[in-house]
Structure 1
């Protein structure tokens, strides 16, 4: 893992921070007199949704987090962008996107969001932040070392541009292990940290020895790392395509009868990073042509209503909420009367888990391969430490735990464990 030594001057523990820039939520932590803690960045909330809202009104301030989502839901004219981290490592990161009267690089959008977090933390502690340990997934991009390096360097450049003089990185599951160790471990244990986030899933096999989180180096304790560019947004997409999109015309027949309506708009409507592409006037013109030739034009009318009102994120939010609800319930009803009177979608856990089975299998296989990479067997693992919002899905937990019969499952702070671990690491490196 690269470490940027930067300036020669020493850093006090309160001038450094740990920053967990997540696909769904982000946190920032500092190490104070009472130990590491996450800063309340949005009211009393320490976890901020990774979202920005650009209002159409000239001179309007940039909104982030819950305020950004609320402005969109309230119907304020503007552009909502979520799951910003998923753009890292993709071809989109160096491209510009339209934000009303200007075009802005996606990397600049990430910078605006992270700068807002940094500024709020500095106000909260009444001191500047000069150094940061940023979390990163084991793989920003699967099987693409050049793309992975480019993603990290983009994030480094963004961090330096917003005022951090020292920037270094730590794998997110390693950071989670540091927080886990100080809370749960006495004696030497072997754990696999399963950090299942919004955009990536990362695994680290680590040797834990309670009370040693402040040791200078832990490299020999990190036995293996593995991961996949697979996370909560992929499960959202499966639920959307299986249960929600048919109500908008997905897989419905054209008048010819032997072909279905084009599927591309439905994939865009089910993907956080590409939903905005539907709002191109050319796409709406194409939908009108599809409607004319569709056997069930009323279904296409629903899709066109979403596109015409630029409410694609409202559909994605509804899908995400249904996914979360299915962790505790067998069936969820989602009213969508704003699309069409009386329209709604029923989702069941059985259907959802069936549609997502391949994703769960991939997570289980990745966890098992990570342990094998460490030269261990499944029976050597004492703990499976779960963190990340997607780790609460029953099917995800089952798929991973089934690989380790003798391991105890322990849950960390779903949205805070990585940030706290990065803060511990920031103290070690810069304190």
Structure 2
């Protein structure tokens, strides 16, 4: 369907770690201050106990650091294309899934941009990684469809995508002339690459990307240095008979993955960990783990 995109289009970079929004003003890009005069905001949300709406960005980070009671979530983009998107959980007294949460986040970005620009944005030009998932075409297609659904829930009527390294190439200011240029965009969840040259305009020769970024390094540090203090690798005695086995690795993989942490606060997980505390050869690390889950730390 043909639309009049001029003047009604908001550019959004929905990032794993940070997000931004902008418009074209007299042919030049302008980043909209959508949070406290800043051109970017953290891609994080917080659902406080007793709150009527979620906090986002720096407000969500402050709530976490202050130790407020509630659920903190970040790296939301990493969930796109996974089975977690449709899983329902209770937030703010109602059942929500990641379509609802990401849609609400993007809706806030839209509303803040509209308030700053004093106009309504019906359409969105969204950045996207070259590949959401490194080697799985079905999951890549599903991730893009998930993001489209989230933008529709945010209130946009239609959208177009621009792969992130190509957007960076357009904004790079590389002068015209012979020779090739390479954009390297290492993000929170993905790393993208674009080979291009400038002639009469930008000529993109190749785009590629992998699902590896800053959150992978966070996770590796957490697994290697934090999770052993919470029982990773600890021995749990068998309930019947002799012998012992190591704690399930999947538990610590999830606890070290930002977008999966809130799902470990469920009652059945806490009951399983409480049993591990009783059967642990060395109870102290497992006691720490139970406290982290029970207090939602």
Q: TM-score, normalised by structure 1?
A: 0.64
Which residue in 1 is equivalent to 2:48?
A: 55
Question: 1:186 Cα deviation (Å)?
Answer: 4.2
Map Cα deviations across residues 2-29 of structure 1 (whole Å, 9 max, x no partner).
Answer: xxx532x3623xx322110001110001
Q: How does 1:158-237 map to 2 (within 5 A)?
A: 158-180=150-172, 182=173, 184-209=174-199, 215=201, 218=202, 221-237=203-219
CA displacement, residues 56-101 of structure 1 (integer Å, 9 cap, x when unaligned): 215x232110101212332333222211111111111223222152
Q: Distance between the aligned counterparts of 2:135 and 2:5, measured in 1?
A: 38
- For the 8 Å contact 1:19–1:133, the answer to whether it is kept is yes
CA distance in 2, matches of 1:230, 1:91: 19
Q: How far apart in 2 are the matches of 1:165 and 1:98?
A: 28
CA contact (8 A) 2:16 2:187 kept: yes
Q: Which is strand-richer, 1 or 2?
A: 2
Any residues of structure 2 matched to 1:58-137 within 5 Å, and which? Answer: 60-137=52-129
Q: In the TM superposition, what whole-angstrom CA distance separates every residue of 1:137-163 from its partner, at most 9, and x where no partner exists? A: 111123322322222122223223333
1: CA distance between counterparts of 2:277 and 2:119?
58
Give the alignment's TM-score, normalised by structure 2: 0.91
Q: Is the aligned partner of 1:30 residue 2:16?
A: no
Given that residues 100 and 153 in structure 2 are in contact (C-alpha distance below 8 angstroms), is that contact kept between their aligned partners in structure 1?
no
* TM-superposition CA deviations, 1:103-128 (whole Å, max 9, x none): 11211111100110111011111111
Q: Distance in 2 between matches of 1:189 and 1:228?
A: 25
Partner of 1:76, secondary structure, is: coil
The one of 2, 5, 15 aligned to 1:6: 2
Tell me the residue number matched to 2:282.
296
| Structural RMSD (CA) | 2.0
Instruction: Give 3-state SS (helix, strand or coil) of 2:215's partner.
Output: helix
The SS at the match of 2:21 is: strand
CA contact 1:49–1:66 (8 Å) conserved in 2:
yes
| Equivalent residue in structure 2 for 1:306, among 285, 292, 295 | 292
2:246 maps to 1:260: yes
Q: Which has the higher helix share?
A: 1
The Cα offsets for residues 386-431 of structure 1, whole Å up to 9 and x where unpaired, read as: xxxxxxxxxxxxxxxxxxxxxxxxxxxxxxxxxxxxxxxxxxxxxx
Structure 1 residues 151 and 190 mapped into 2: Cα distance closer, same or farther (>3 Å)? Answer: same
Aligned to 2:33: 40
Q: Does 1:280 align with 2:266?
A: yes
For structure 1, the residue ranges without an aligned partner over 5 or more in a row are 312-431
Change (3 A) 1:119 1:258: same
- 1:187 and 1:298, CA in 2 relative to 1: closer, same or farther beyond 3 A? same
Say whether the 8 Å CA contact 1:97–1:106 is kept in structure 2: no
Q: Distance in 1 between matches of 2:175 and 2:289?
A: 52
1:243 aligns with 2:225: yes
**SS of match in other structure, 2:234:** coil
For 1:18, the equivalent position in structure 2 comes to 11
d(CA) in 2 for partners of 1:77 and 1:6?
47
- SS in structure 2 opposite 1:6? coil
Report the count of equivalent residues: 293
SS in 2 for 1:185: coil
CA contact (8 A) 1:253 1:261 kept: yes
